[in-house]
Amino acid sequence: MRPSWDEYFMEIAHVVKKRSTCMRRNVGAVIVKDKRILSTGYNGAPSGLKHCKETGCLRDKLKVPSGQRHELCRGLHAEQNAIVSAANFGVNIEGGVLYCTDQPCVLCAKMIINGGIKRVVFGKGYPDELSINLLKEANVELVKLDSIDLD
């Protein structure tokens, strides 16, 4: 059966997440505008730095629960990498749609809002209610796509 556009781009986000170098959670993101892919990103250490699998995960060592103390993580989130990648190549994402395998956290939500993303389609939930509240306040459409789970 032919996938809907949301299913299609979410499947691509699941392929993108295979590049993740995070030890705790593998996440992929795709930014789309007018049914064209503008940028992709996955979570992991900044370019040129050692991956978490080499250095270890401080959040794991400190037993930090998911959704808390993001500042302790050496990695960037998939959404952040997709937004930064678009900026590096001069690609305007304003008015775009972000497809993400997981619900964005509050840090990513703020970047999504300031980047002008108008719609976020995500798969798995994430324990961060503030991110949902900020996105709704900014009139960013949120769609939880339950039909795709390629893990």
User: Is 105 annotated among the ligand-binding residues?
Assistant: yes
- Full DSSP string of 1-38: -PPPHHHHHHHHHHHHGGG---SS---EEEEEETTEEE
pLDDT of residue 50: 92
User: Is 57 annotated among the ligand-binding residues?
Assistant: no
Could you tell me the pTM of the whole model? 0.93
Q: Residue 68 CB: number of other CB atoms within 10 A?
A: 12
* Given 79, 94, 137, 141, the catalytic residue: 79
Task: Please state the three-class secondary structure of 81-143 as a single string.
Answer: HHHHHHHHCCCCCCCCEEEEEECCCHHHHHHHHHHCCCEEEEEECCCCHHHHHHHHHCCCEEE
Annotated active-site residue 79? The verdict is: yes
Residue-wise pLDDT for 20-42, tens only, equals 999 889 999 999 999 999 999 99
pLDDT of residue 35: 97
User: Is 100 annotated among the ligand-binding residues?
Assistant: no
Fold that domain 5-144 belongs to in CATH: Cytidine Deaminase; domain 2 (3.40.140)
CA 52, 24, 63, 75 torsion: positive or negative?
positive
Domain ranges, ordered by start, for the chain: 5-144
Residue-wise pLDDT for 106-144, tens only, equals 999 999 999 999 999 999 998 889 999 999 999 999 999
pLDDT of residue 149: 57
